[in-house]
Amino acid sequence: MTRPHVLVDGFFLGKPYGFGRFAGELVRALSLYADDVDVSVAVPEGASWAPGAGVAHVSLHRLPPRNLILWEQLAVPALARRLGCDVVHFPYNTRALRTGGLPAVTTVHDLVFLESTASAGLSPKDRVAHAYARWTFRRATLRSEAVVSVSGTTARLLEEMGVRSTVVPNTVDGFAAVLPPDRPAGPGPGRRYVLHRGGSAAHRNTGRVVEAFRRVRRERPDVDLRVIGVPDGAETWQVGPDEGITFLPRQTDADLAALYADSACVLATSLEEGFGLPIIEGFVFGSPVITSDRDPMREVAGGAARLVDPTDVGQIADAVLLVLGDPSVAASLRERGTERYRDFTAEQVARRMSEVYRAACGVSAPS
């Protein structure tokens, strides 16, 4: 065997956020830059996703839709055996308990779901997903022939559990490509705004972001805050119509990209993350980023973002005012962010994953 044949679990392909975006970027990277590996992708029938045309080493295999547990435990291993694959890649923290003897690669994004408080405030469906993740993590994920972590922080946590992993970060090259390349960077005309990818979960820290912006607004009434992902946020945080804070539902890729590109800065001040995708999304669209002085956010930022204590509302507000008020600071952050993003390109991701697949099934790299 000189070319490993990998089956990638594409259960979430076509979904615009979270695991869906991760899976889409992964398969896109493999299709562009991993032509030394044959890639099959398992995708539910009806998923609104299709591979790029003319990619000989990537094939799509649609399966009847099922819930995640049946899909991962039964459908994916059966398809891998039927296709004669050499390795199976499970990209969502969990994996099948049995793969019929095929080596498994599992990507671990974070270990938040292992915490006793992780299910607080979640919907019943999401609580079931967390319970399933906890159940299969120790029984299967940690026994994978290869474990991939998306950050050095997650890798260190896994090492504390006695598991070695290979760090392969996220990329957003595909997402960045939705905007025309000749579109001017920087805030667009009209009222300037700060952008925050929010959420009702405590670790998103949206309540403190709202409170920090209220302080910003006292000095900069010309600036707004736009919070994505919590359309009922005005009620949740008791925000009035004259406070300059707009809560938006989930956006299409094109609308979300435009929001990033036109923002005055991005607030990615979570209390806890496995990676911190809004950081590199801000980088790739040329927006100054303010993020948490905690890992992995600090690790991902790599000196290219303004760091703050995410529990200190005053620090968050002061950082926003500095970026808004000093063009040289904003320009420096944009420049450093663009440079830092070079460590997160699709080519980097594909090359590293190709090495992981080869190592998992014992195939040496081509000369």
Q: What is the pLDDT of residues 188-227, one digit of tens each?
A: 554 589 999 998 888 899 999 999 999 999 999 999 999 9
Which residues, in sequence order, are CB contacts of 278 under 8 Å at separation 6+? 197, 266, 268, 289
Residues 136-144 have a mean pLDDT of: 93
- At which residue do the structure tokens 């120790």 appear? 138
SS3 state of residue 283: helix
Strand partners of residue 187: none
> What are the helix and strand counts (H, E) for the chain?
14, 13
**Number of Cα atoms under 13 Å in the Cβ half of residue 101:** 2
Mean pLDDT along residues 164-181? 92
With a cut of 80, say whether residue 278 has pLDDT above it: yes
Complete domains list, the chain, with CATH: 5-171+345-360 (3.40.50.2000), 177-344 (3.40.50.2000)
Average pLDDT in the 89-101 region? 96
> First and final CA of the chain: distance in angstroms?
15
Helix (H, G, I), strand (E, B) or coil at 201: coil
What are the angstrom distances between the C-alpha of 239 and each of 106, 182, 320? 42, 37, 19
Cβ–Cβ contacts within 10 Å for residue 359, how many?
18
Residue 34's pLDDT is what? 94
The pLDDT of residue 130 is: 82
Distance in angstroms (rounded) separating the CA atoms of residues 170 and 149: 10
What is the pLDDT at residue 2?
80
Is the pLDDT at 118 greater than 60? The verdict is no
Partners of residue 63 on adjacent β-strands = 44
The pLDDT value given to residue 190: 47
